[in-house]
Structure 1
Amino acid sequence: MDPHISTALNRQLTADAQRWLTEAVARVEKDPAAVRSLFPAVGRRCGRGPLAAGWTVADAARVRLLAALPLRGAALAEEVTALHRFGDAGEQRAVLCSLALLEDADASFGDLGLPLVRAALRGNDTDLIEAALGPYAARHLDYDGYRHAVLKCVFSGIPLDRVAGLEERADRELARMLADFAHERVAAGRDVPTDVWPVVRAHPGTLEASGLPAEAHSPVPDRRAAAVRALAVFISTAPAGAA
């Protein structure tokens, strides 16, 4: 867990909650099966409020429990998969948030958590989609899966700055997909999310190939106005000195 998140959790917990969590961690370290009853109780015992960087108190406390599991590889994956399968949305979110940490502690965990990421991406819960697209997904999703995950975020209104690895993994094909999405929005007379433009801009020619600029001359007023707005934002958000 990020040290800042861990420190924020320690500061947020009451004395009773801190004592309960410390004891819960010790129980899990001795008996992995204990996590099955302790994991659902975290929200009630530690709290569910916001913590930091998009995390909640319950997220961080549950991840601390998972990090205490003395399991490796397939056994670890089986346990966290069961917690995800039988958990509510908050519990599923915590499992997704834990995946990179579990792999960091146990290289044999590898891509065994990837089915949980894919399950979240098939759904429509934006909290789960966002939690799924952390560093673990950035490491393990193939390029096609990663591109479609980013596009789902755009369609779902999830800001792209919450998607891990975007700067490293965004390629020309993703830029093309986002430019085509922007064109579809303009053709419907709608505004384009501004956070697609850095990816599109990084691959010159993709905007023009989408046909969007031509919509500035559309005979349909709504399409023309939407295109003018989109192009104005595209230009105004360019870094200083960019062409």
Structure 2
Amino acid sequence: MTPPPAPRTEDLLAALGQEWPADARRDIAADPTTLARHFASAGRRAGRAPLPDAPGWSADEAARAVLLAALPPDAVAAQVTDLYRGGDADEKRAVLKALPLLPPGTETTPLLHDAIRTNDTRLVAAALGPCARHLDQTMWRQAVLKCVFMGVPLAAVDRLEERADAELAGMLAAFAEERAAAGRHVPADATALLDHLTGENPGRPAGEKET
């Protein structure tokens, strides 16, 4: 199982079905300093319900993402970093999920590293979405192992099967041995991935749980 592709800005706007984000986007395009005000009020104005037409997104996340995408290119770097650093967990996650909507070349790696260092499972999972392509292989492997340790479903990891390699298999095998010695279980999706990488069950896609 793989995560759904990152939606386009217009897809999120349609899924929201609200008028105020379009007005706010015009404000932001004209004056980027208005973003902070609109971003902070997004939870109250959009609500926090899941969006049926945008799987994996809540209304506040989608609203914040489309607001960020309205920034003029020369304002993106500073605004995104400031909003992430000063945000609460919900706002940080919205920033991470919005990164694929931002102009190519936007510096994302420091934010991804920060999220992966946290103990917030939602931030770790968000950091391993489409923008995880910016992580080098060493950091990416460590982040995947952290997902396993924290119980984050591996279905959240973008390009898992493509990037998983023998070194990750060795890390998972060592983790499984430690768990077994402690009498603790290994998540089913991690076992499936290890089996896939070692050829013990090559017919099962990496990350897919056994039924």
**What displacement does 1:201 show?**
2.3
Structure 1 residue matching 2:115: 3-state secondary structure: helix
Q: Does 1:2 align with 2:4?
A: no
Q: Does 1:108 align with 2:105?
A: yes
Distance in 2 of aligned mates of 1:20 and 1:55:
18
Task: Give aligned-pair identity as a percent.
Answer: 49
Q: TM-score, normalised by structure 1?
A: 0.75
One-letter code aligned to 1:2? P
**What displacement does 1:131 show?**
1.1
Structure 2 residue matching 1:173: 3-state secondary structure: helix
Distance in 2 of aligned mates of 1:10 and 1:98:
16
One-letter code aligned to 1:144? T
**What displacement does 1:78 show?**
1.3
Q: 1:113 to 1:21 in 2, by over 3 A?
A: same
**1:1-243 aligned within 5 A:** 2-3=7-8, 7=11, 10-13=14-17, 18-51=18-51, 52-72=54-74, 75-102=75-102, 106-109=103-106, 112-137=107-132, 139-204=133-198, 239=203
**What displacement does 1:98 show?**
1.1
One-letter code aligned to 2:56? G
Q: 1:66 to 1:174 in 2, by over 3 A?
A: same
Post-superposition Cα deviations, 1:8-36, rounded to whole Å, max 9, x if no partner, equal 653554xxxx2221110111111111101
Post-superposition Cα deviations, 1:163-209, rounded to whole Å, max 9, x if no partner, equal 1111111010001101111111111112211111333223338xxxx
Post-superposition Cα deviations, 1:199-223, rounded to whole Å, max 9, x if no partner, equal 3223338xxxxxxxxxxxxxxxxxx
Question: Is residue 12–residue 57 contact of structure 1 (8 Å, CA) maintained in 2?
Answer: yes
Distance in 1 of aligned mates of 2:37 and 2:12:
25
Question: Is residue 9–residue 57 contact of structure 1 (8 Å, CA) maintained in 2?
Answer: no
One-letter code aligned to 1:56? S
Q: 1:8 to 1:19 in 2, by over 3 A?
A: closer
Query: Based on CA coordinates, which of the two structures has the bigger radius of gyration?
Result: 1
- Consecutive unaligned residues of structure 2, counting only runs of 5 or more, are 1-5, 205-211
Structure 1 residue matching 2:198: 3-state secondary structure: coil
Between the two proteins, the alignment pairs up a number of residues equal to: 197
Question: Is residue 49–residue 56 contact of structure 1 (8 Å, CA) maintained in 2?
Answer: yes
Question: Is residue 135–residue 164 contact of structure 1 (8 Å, CA) maintained in 2?
Answer: yes
**What displacement does 1:7 show?**
4.2
Question: Is residue 47–residue 60 contact of structure 2 (8 Å, CA) maintained in 1?
Answer: yes
Q: 1:12 to 1:101 in 2, by over 3 A?
A: closer
Q: 1:29 to 1:8 in 2, by over 3 A?
A: closer
Q: More helix per residue: 1 or 2?
A: 1
Post-superposition Cα deviations, 1:119-168, rounded to whole Å, max 9, x if no partner, equal 1111111111111111101x111111000000110111100011111111
- Consecutive unaligned residues of structure 1, counting only runs of 5 or more, are 206-234
Distance in 1 of aligned mates of 2:47 and 2:195:
43
Q: TM-score, normalised by structure 2?
A: 0.86
Asked which structure has the greater RCO (Cα within 8 Å, sep 6+), the reply is 2
